Structure 1
Amino acid sequence: MSRSLRAHLLLTAVVFVWGATFVLIKGALRDVSPLLFNFIRMALAFACLAVVYRAHWKHVTRRAMVSGAVVGFCLAMGYQFQTAGLRLTSPSKSAFITGLVVVLVPLFSGIPLLRPAGAHVPQWNAYLGALVAFVGIVLLTTPAGAGFDFVSVNRGDLLTFGCAVGFALHVLALAHTAPRVPYTQLALLQIGFCALFMAVSGPILEHPSIRWTPRVVVALLIAALLATAAAFTVQSWAQQFLPATHTALILALEPVFAWLTSFVILGERLNLRASAGALLILAGIGFTEFLPNRMQPTAHETVPLN
């Protein structure tokens, strides 16, 4: 099996895990406050990676520390908004709104300061995709008959959109730093700094509470070890062998996996209006990623591997 095919399969498996955990975490949030859940999740993941990558500590440079802090801040922003919003909205809606990161990345790349070195300026398809996805998010998040009345939008949906912004910035921060920092160090440090930022912001933004029920323990272990420590390590490796457009398309499967899991486990169904909105979001992602004007090279092709 070629490394490219293995990378495609492993990253798809990671995205399936991320999609499936929406339902798992939604249930756990009945017994734990969202930001405390995030902190424990990241602290456990960091402890795991600190042991696995213990030989890398002595090689950490100042550049790696700064890069880890920047990427970790963006990651913390994404997770804090996502988990806080998930408590107030459904798993499928949360996943579809989070999927907007695939549209936001090329839009943000239009800003010279945010655009990674070697990346192309967004073309017409990126802006068309953003417009279609925007209409979709309005249909998905506003009640029938509300039209474009954003006063009626669920507060959880707004928080989740903030998570899409955070994760889009995380993707761009990784694009800037990954070619200059070993992926093992970057995976370790970003999660460590993410946990640190969560420890500081959590008590300010909420009154932490937890009841140690079996579903909380199971959700924390799966989210920390499988969906964070293992997933970020696999993603960091896989993206060396995948073009950026392929990676974005695989990530776009996350809301589909989340909806399927929510349908099978919770019996959740989207009404006609919400279904149309979800389809438009996927169409917007498709316009952005299926119609690229120029092919992007892989990290493996542009950066020598150590």
Structure 2
Amino acid sequence: MSSDTLSRDTGDALGRSRNSLKIRHSLLLLLAALIWGTTFVAQSIAAKTISPFTYNFCRFYVGALVLLPVAILVGKKDPLAPNYTGASIPGMRPKKSRTRDLRICGIACGILLFLAGGFQQAGLEYTTAGKSGFITALYIILVPIFGLFLHKKCPPLVWISVALAVIGFYLLSIRGGFSVNRGDLLTLCSSCMFAMHILTVDHFIPRVNGIQLSCIQFLVSGTLSVFPAFLLETPDISSIAQCIWPILYAGILSSGVAYTLQIIGQRGLNPTLASLLMSLESVISAISGWIVLGDSMSPKELTGCVFVFAGVILAQLPSIRRLRK
């Protein structure tokens, strides 16, 4: 076998391996979107009894507590973690650098997560839930736009997929006319925070342990949520106890599991593709509300779901085709 043939075969094998990894990570993000979408039911139930910031600090603290022992154990075997106890590896960065990156990213992600939820909740006081869902989903456009400033380019097919998804979200979320008010602008700020969160994770994830990052961001976001909870709301132990199951569902699955899947799944994926996959949360929440809560879905909304799914599938086609070769 000639050296050229061997080199070509090796390159093909590496290409298939990378595409296989991308598909696996895409499935992790799809699973995260599925969990977030079904969490909508838990949030709807909890909203009848507990205030939003109280709900947020409870679920984020639950997520952090669930992940804490896992983060400590996993970190001991991961050269990216500050508490790595294994043998030294060539090229491994000093503990001080690993600690600094984890601290910076964890605090940044926690602040962005807190701001995203806060702006979204404030916007809901002035706009409808449908418009809020549509505007929040615009992070699938904001991610590639912001990414241009960070020299992250997207193939034309991904831009087409994003356009299909935006059309789908409009059909799914908007009823009647569309006008812009104060609540819509606040919700747009929320969408910007979500986009920045995705890009922040994309920037740091090659250098930090994903589970430890997830744990720290929940501690930060939960702590920040405590202040508005006690200043603007009246946290009540009995109300929290009544919502214990929705809080545990959101804390363990939505926070502890799904956000960790997001961080791990984003590794090696284009952030625009990652945001497109995670945007399925809105479609799944609409479908789960239809099935579990009995919310109605019109033909227009069902058509919107089809458009979003079409955009996501279209964005995945290149990796699937290359994997089959």
Same fold (TM over 0.5): yes
Q: Which has the larger radius of gyration?
A: 2
Mark the CA change 1:127 to 1:120 in structure 2 (over 3 Å): closer, same or farther: same
Kept in 2, the 8 Å contact 1:26–1:86? The answer is no
Q: Percent identity, please.
A: 27
Query: Equivalent residue of 1:61, what SS?
Result: helix
Name the CA distance, whole Å, in 1 between partners of 2:253 and 2:298: 32
Structure 1 residue identity aligned to 2:44: K
Unmatched runs of 5 consecutive residues or more in structure 1: 296-306
Structure 1 residue identity aligned to 2:100: R
Question: Quick check: 1:52 aligned with 2:70?
Answer: yes
Mark the CA change 1:92 to 1:277 in structure 2 (over 3 Å): closer, same or farther: farther
Name the CA distance, whole Å, in 2 between partners of 1:247 and 1:267: 30
Kept in 1, the 8 Å contact 2:110–2:221? The answer is yes
Pairing partner for 2:257 from 212, 215, 230: 230
Question: Quick check: 1:168 aligned with 2:168?
Answer: no
Judging by fraction of residues, say which structure has more helix.
Answer: 2
Mark the CA change 1:29 to 1:88 in structure 2 (over 3 Å): closer, same or farther: farther
Structure 1 residue identity aligned to 2:30: T
Mark the CA change 1:247 to 1:132 in structure 2 (over 3 Å): closer, same or farther: closer
Identify the residue that residue 302 of structure 1 maps to in structure 2.
Answer: none
Mark the CA change 1:215 to 1:290 in structure 2 (over 3 Å): closer, same or farther: farther
Identify the residue that residue 23 of structure 1 maps to in structure 2.
Answer: 41
| TM-score scaled by length of structure 1 | 0.72
Kept in 2, the 8 Å contact 1:140–1:276? The answer is no
Pairing partner for 2:217 from 166, 187, 190: 190
Mark the CA change 1:242 to 1:148 in structure 2 (over 3 Å): closer, same or farther: closer
Pairing partner for 1:69 from 98, 101, 107: 107
Structure 1 residue identity aligned to 2:50: V
Identify the residue that residue 150 of structure 1 maps to in structure 2.
Answer: 180
Kept in 2, the 8 Å contact 1:48–1:225? The answer is yes
Structure 1 residue identity aligned to 2:65: A
Identify the residue that residue 144 of structure 2 maps to in structure 1.
Answer: 106
Structure 2 residue identity aligned to 1:275: E
Structure 1 residue identity aligned to 2:284: F
Query: Equivalent residue of 1:174, what SS?
Result: helix
Question: Quick check: 1:14 aligned with 2:14?
Answer: no
Query: Equivalent residue of 1:212, what SS?
Result: helix
Mark the CA change 1:280 to 1:160 in structure 2 (over 3 Å): closer, same or farther: farther
Structure 1 residue identity aligned to 2:113: L
Mark the CA change 1:235 to 1:149 in structure 2 (over 3 Å): closer, same or farther: closer
Kept in 1, the 8 Å contact 2:139–2:195? The answer is yes
Report matched runs for 1:199-238 at 5 Å. Answer: 199-204=226-231, 206-210=232-236, 211-212=238-239, 216-238=243-265
Name the CA distance, whole Å, in 1 between partners of 2:59 and 2:128: 21
Name the CA distance, whole Å, in 1 between partners of 2:188 and 2:25: 29
Mark the CA change 1:52 to 1:196 in structure 2 (over 3 Å): closer, same or farther: same
Mark the CA change 1:173 to 1:4 in structure 2 (over 3 Å): closer, same or farther: closer
Identify the residue that residue 282 of structure 1 maps to in structure 2.
Answer: 308
Kept in 2, the 8 Å contact 1:39–1:199? The answer is yes
Structure 2 residue identity aligned to 1:99: A
Identify the residue that residue 303 of structure 1 maps to in structure 2.
Answer: none
What RMSD in Å do the two structures reach over aligned CA positions? 4.0
Name the CA distance, whole Å, in 1 between partners of 2:224 and 2:298: 38
Structure 2 residue identity aligned to 1:228: S
Moved over 6 A (4+): 86-92, 121-125
Kept in 1, the 8 Å contact 2:205–2:267? The answer is no
Name the CA distance, whole Å, in 1 between partners of 2:125 and 2:40: 10
In the TM superposition, what is the alpha-carbon distance from 1:175 to its structure 2 partner?
A: 1.5
